[in-house]
Structure 1
């Protein structure tokens, strides 16, 4: 079993979010996948099994547990597959549902992948959970941007969305990891999507990921897709829309995620990025 290492959402190996990729996980059981993900040590490693022409079974493991879907590992997997088999469209069968991903060459020759998420959903965030989240993060209600109300958003995995009106507040991230991990595990949340709106189409994000054993994710494609669905459902952006999300900057691993929000309600959200081998 060969484990590849890629950075997604950056053309520079020093930026983006690292992911492990196993393109042939045939015959590998859950324990071996979890052990491999823990050894790799990245926020996620993708394990692929061929499932027919143009179709792949993909499972995602953090160092601590399996997760239903991971955006950056999907982008990394698509680019790794394209390097060996050529560009085109693939159907990925994930625990969250079917996800299509298309690879192509950019003008500069870089491989770029676009995934289309499962149908997104947005639900209210319980007031008690909101209060607990704010307390753990050291935020107050005054730190929140009233134009982007707290919600829990889904596009393959669940992410509470908390928006702050202050870029400085977003940059100052400090929290108790075990306490936040316990809350998130109890609610089945994958990351916390902390965002700041620079303009109607440009956002900055940070994503704590303690259930996966990671303090913070430098690029979270699943959360970006969920956030695109959140904006559409709450009518916070004219659709169709193309958004740019900057993540990882405050960690020293800058990432750029392009999010495409179709006008049709309930349709999957597009997430685009490049990936390079480490």
Structure 2
């Protein structure tokens, strides 16, 4: 059986930047094994499969080359950009049924995509020594006033604050240890970041998810949504009702990416998280399974 797969780069800051994703439209007839096989053939960190839904405008499932994940930010951007560019939808507000819940997505007039994430949940604070060892760094190379903590706006990640860009870019992780720790704490992986940036953003980061077959990812929507909430919680973002944040990622992989996050607060609580960006380089390929 042959089928069409769209490929494109989400959160791209430039033509060579962004995070590649695959998108399969009208995927209702595919089995779980089919979807896993297609994701493996495409070989990107995630491929989105768009289906009919009785609960939302669309149902979207996300597969890495190894297994299914509940939600993927950059593949959501890719899916809705593809739906729009292929004439299935127009600029406006839509909903997607995912394993992380029903989430809203907005297609802007310039075809940038903003997606809703869950309100943040803050979990365990992890001993810095354990994390530093797995990254082959010392505790002194981490920011002293921020914890290593698990946070989620849909997917659990371990957030690791690093002192500066030079240290962040020089980190050579022990991927076996990162995998084992990610599994131990039931997380997707590590989101390591510094507040020192290249382009005047709020943070510069790298994302490691070897447990899911992704040594490093160039742009992660779900992780940066949670990172923004973490930074707000610990006073690194000025408290306002509407907060706009930008995060740099992918530069260490020569895939410059920009992720835009919008937080809405009520009192001290974050009540709404939106993450988005643009997609570039849409193309079609044919896969046989």
TM over 0.5: yes
Q: Distance in 2 between matches of 1:222 and 1:21?
A: 18
After superposition, the Cα gap between the structure-2 partners of 1:11 and 1:196, relative to the gap in structure 1 and judged at 3 Å, is: closer
Q: Distance in 2 between matches of 1:82 and 1:243?
A: 25
Q: Distance in 2 between matches of 1:58 and 1:79?
A: 13
Q: Distance in 1 between matches of 2:101 and 2:183?
A: 21
Hey, what does 2:43 align to over in structure 1? 41
Hey, what does 1:92 align to over in structure 2? 96
Hey, what does 1:101 align to over in structure 2? 105
Cα deviations by residue, 1:90-116 (Å, 9 ceiling, x for unpaired) = 11111111211101123xxxx200011
User: Once structures 1 and 2 are overlaid, which stretch shifts more, 49-58 or 145-154?
Assistant: 49-58
Question: What's the CA shift for 1:89?
Answer: 1.3
Contact 2:19/2:219, CA 8 A, preserved across alignment: yes
Q: Which has the higher strand share?
A: 2
After superposition, the Cα gap between the structure-2 partners of 1:213 and 1:53, relative to the gap in structure 1 and judged at 3 Å, is: closer
Hey, what does 1:136 align to over in structure 2? 134
Contact 2:13/2:257, CA 8 A, preserved across alignment: no
Question: What's the CA shift for 1:187?
Answer: 2.1
Question: What's the CA shift for 1:191?
Answer: 2.7
Kindly report the root-mean-square deviation, in angstroms, between the aligned alpha carbons of the 2 structures: 1.8
Hey, what does 2:287 align to over in structure 1? none
Q: Distance in 2 between matches of 1:121 and 1:53?
A: 24
Question: What's the CA shift for 1:166?
Answer: 1.4
What is the 5 A alignment of 1:93-172?
A: 93-106=97-110, 111-127=111-127, 130-172=128-170
Q: Does 1:218 align with 2:218?
A: yes
Question: What's the CA shift for 1:182?
Answer: 2.4
Hey, what does 1:18 align to over in structure 2? 20
Question: What's the CA shift for 1:230?
Answer: 1.4
Contact 1:194/1:205, CA 8 A, preserved across alignment: yes
Question: What's the CA shift for 1:234?
Answer: 3.2
Cα deviations by residue, 1:46-97 (Å, 9 ceiling, x for unpaired) = 1111215961111111111111111100111111111122222111111111
Structure 1 unaligned spans of 5+ = none
After superposition, the Cα gap between the structure-2 partners of 1:266 and 1:244, relative to the gap in structure 1 and judged at 3 Å, is: closer
Hey, what does 2:286 align to over in structure 1? none
Q: Distance in 1 between matches of 2:55 and 2:274?
A: 23
Structure 2 unaligned spans of 5+ = 284-289
Cα deviations by residue, 1:104-137 (Å, 9 ceiling, x for unpaired) = 123xxxx20001101211123232xx42221010
Q: Distance in 2 between matches of 1:56 and 1:46?
A: 12
Q: Distance in 1 between matches of 2:14 and 2:25?
A: 22
Hey, what does 1:231 align to over in structure 2? 231
User: Once structures 1 and 2 are overlaid, which stretch shifts more, 187-196 or 152-161?
Assistant: 187-196
Hey, what does 2:5 align to over in structure 1? 3
The alignment partner of 2:112 has SS state of strand
Q: Distance in 2 between matches of 1:166 and 1:67?
A: 31
Normalization by structure 1: what TM-score?
0.92
Cα deviations by residue, 1:25-49 (Å, 9 ceiling, x for unpaired) = 1121111111111111111011111
Question: What's the CA shift for 1:203?
Answer: 0.9
After superposition, the Cα gap between the structure-2 partners of 1:95 and 1:53, relative to the gap in structure 1 and judged at 3 Å, is: closer
Contact 1:191/1:223, CA 8 A, preserved across alignment: no
